[in-house]
Structure 1
């Protein structure tokens, strides 16, 4: 077992106070950059292609392309997240909003399927009213409840805010490498459990290779240079429902509680407000994210709405390299 036994160093191991003192993680798009996006949207829509067939070549950018490449370096080698601000989503149609976001993402990475329906472009809205505590297959992004700290199934997750809630819904981000360092400092005896295989629930979906409703991997992976953490506590706990699942030990329960405690701590947890036109970019290997619960407006056309992309790095897939194949089986018409 390849395990990191010393504190992880580097810019991804940040604390809340450091980020509050250095707001360079907020990037304000310039007027020229917004104009580049506008022109690229027009060019992409003029191709007549469906959104999911649009490539970076169909979405031509000027200097903003180079800024996105710097973003890619920041996500992989730097702090692991960035918040972009300034897209005029209120001025655009639904199709234009989606095209703008998709096109920017195509300059950053390759889209990844988000669920068994084959969706490459997701929406985070309260649409079901399902209580995740009573339905093991439900997903928090379809409710208004507070979400647990977690990662998503790709190298990068992007969330673009179209509309905010009436109250609540703050985005929470924490450095998972800093959580690792806190565990090393306070509960070092738990570290080996991070590298042991666990069952993760697919929550009603299937693994594309094995056909199983769960996949098996570890919470942490250490390459000798980079540390990755894949944390989905509710997926780990609900996988216990499957026959043959190795039972979680008292040590596992202590570990999961400790990760949550550090993630929620005032030392590490960074809260950021979402405004319409904001895009939050996160590296799933070195950050965990969550959100507070929220109260929606009663009018359907005012309800909280985020657009979501899952992206893998170009020409390689660090997620699969680290954790093994995590693909979701896509249901196709017979």
Structure 2
């Protein structure tokens, strides 16, 4: 069957169509042999079978035997050197952020006009933010800011200050999901197993991934609160994982560098049958970079992969599991505290999350903002350049919707 975007798909999208459980099961069947939650047992079984089948194969053209950059690191090593990635805001910097907010409010401008000019910081602080950008692009690829005096602000003002600070990191901020600017990573007790379409809304472990936003090479988070227990941020170097795989199983690199059919229609904002076709792994500008979201291959919960799209191959299943389990092997865990701000190079660092438990007093809540830094030009992928985005996916700043609160759950009929 020819893959297209109109193969017998029901009218409307999950956000504007009243789905039933039977609709979902029929249109988005789940592959019980390959789900969002990786199985180590299944991964080992596939290794035995695929390793023998692909013995002797080499790396795809243009991919190096190994990569050597500051972004290639092991979690155990960097865990013991927090001075390389954990940065504490000073009293003067906190005072500068508070003064910038006062200045911004005095201008009485629309929120979309918030930028470096309207949220001014001292030259000394600007120099520090430049050093952070250097870390993101040419260093470890991530950093954690601690010591932001979040209790000095209302929640809304804290988000404004955070967004103003990100203006000094990204050349552009990207807003998705019906022009909404922020993603709210927060468990919602109003969701049930039928309604859940993204793991961000439940307190479960998230697998290693990058955020599949076209052109969004920086992901940032503000911690409104941490969990009662668990919920650590978990990071892993894509280059480090690549080196392990390239040394022992170059055929897996070839699988990742081939085109994949990625389901973009199995989310609450998607159109059934909509897909992207591209590789998951690239070698550009001396970097190994990835754009991988496991859910676009497996689905999540009762929302599987649309029936018009091909099932994942055994090689693809092994490849995705390999990324996750080697990511875990080399990972760094960072506890999340109220007021923490995290920046990640979305193409060179995998991120994941530990499962967690909330309490009445402490409910884990991160505000996510996507940024684009234009200093590195990508040639081989429209996804990395962001050229495949459309007006309804990434809006002009004037059209930003500052959604300070999480959206209401989308219910599925029984």
The answer, yes or no, to whether TM exceeds 0.5 is yes
Q: Distance in 2 between matches of 1:108 and 1:139?
A: 28
Residue 187 to residue 284, structure 1, CA distance change in 2 (3 Å): same
Structure-to-structure mapping, 1:215-234, within 5 angstroms: 215-234=276-295
Aligned to 2:99: 39
Structure having the higher Rg: 2
Unpaired runs of at least 5, structure 1: none
SS of alignment partner, residue 133 of structure 2: helix
Q: CA deviation at 1:88?
A: 0.7
SS of alignment partner, residue 179 of structure 1: helix
Residue 316 to residue 8, structure 1, CA distance change in 2 (3 Å): closer
Residue 112 to residue 29, structure 1, CA distance change in 2 (3 Å): same
Aligned to 2:325: 261
Aligned to 2:185: 124
Does the 8 Å contact 1:80/1:286 carry over to 2? yes
For 1:139, which of 185, 198, 205 is the aligned residue?
198
Q: CA deviation at 1:224?
A: 4.8
Aligned to 1:307: 367
Structure-to-structure mapping, 1:312-327, within 5 angstroms: 312-314=372-374, 318=378, 320=382, 322=384, 325=387, 327=389
Q: Distance in 2 between matches of 1:287 and 1:129?
A: 32
Residue 48 to residue 314, structure 1, CA distance change in 2 (3 Å): farther
Q: Distance in 1 between matches of 2:260 and 2:385?
A: 11
Q: Distance in 2 between matches of 1:42 and 1:176?
A: 40
Cα RMSD (Å) of the superposition? 2.6
SS of alignment partner, residue 236 of structure 1: helix
What is the TM-score with the length of structure 2 in the denominator? 0.72
Q: CA deviation at 1:185?
A: 2.1
Q: CA deviation at 1:281?
A: 0.5
Q: Distance in 2 between matches of 1:119 and 1:144?
A: 23
Residue 324 to residue 27, structure 1, CA distance change in 2 (3 Å): closer
Q: Distance in 1 between matches of 2:107 and 2:114?
A: 9
Does the 8 Å contact 1:3/1:195 carry over to 2? no
Q: Distance in 2 between matches of 1:95 and 1:193?
A: 44
Say yes or no: does 1:72 pair with 2:136.
no
Residue 98 to residue 67, structure 1, CA distance change in 2 (3 Å): same
Structure-to-structure mapping, 1:67-216, within 5 angstroms: 67-109=128-170, 110-115=172-177, 117-127=178-188, 130=191, 138-152=197-211, 153=213, 154-202=216-264, 203-206=267-270, 213-216=274-277
Q: CA deviation at 1:22?
A: 1.8
Residue 206 to residue 315, structure 1, CA distance change in 2 (3 Å): farther
Residue 331 to residue 296, structure 1, CA distance change in 2 (3 Å): same
Q: CA deviation at 1:96?
A: 1.6
Does the 8 Å contact 1:25/1:81 carry over to 2? yes
Q: Distance in 2 between matches of 1:76 and 1:331?
A: 23
Post-superposition CA distance 1:168-205 (Å, at most 9, x none): 11110001111111111232221111111112222243
Residue 159 to residue 43, structure 1, CA distance change in 2 (3 Å): same
Q: Distance in 1 between matches of 2:387 and 2:148?
A: 35
Say yes or no: does 1:59 pair with 2:123.
no
What is the TM-score with the length of structure 1 in the denominator? 0.88
Aligned to 2:313: 249
Does the 8 Å contact 2:377/2:385 carry over to 1? no
SS of alignment partner, residue 241 of structure 1: coil
Aligned to 2:55: none
Q: CA deviation at 1:247?
A: 3.4
Q: Distance in 2 between matches of 1:235 and 1:321?
A: 15
Does the 8 Å contact 1:131/1:143 carry over to 2? no
Does the 8 Å contact 2:184/2:368 carry over to 1? yes
Residue 130 to residue 2, structure 1, CA distance change in 2 (3 Å): farther
Say yes or no: does 1:26 pair with 2:86.
yes
Q: Distance in 2 between matches of 1:39 and 1:151?
A: 34
Post-superposition CA distance 1:231-257 (Å, at most 9, x none): 211212239733553432211111111
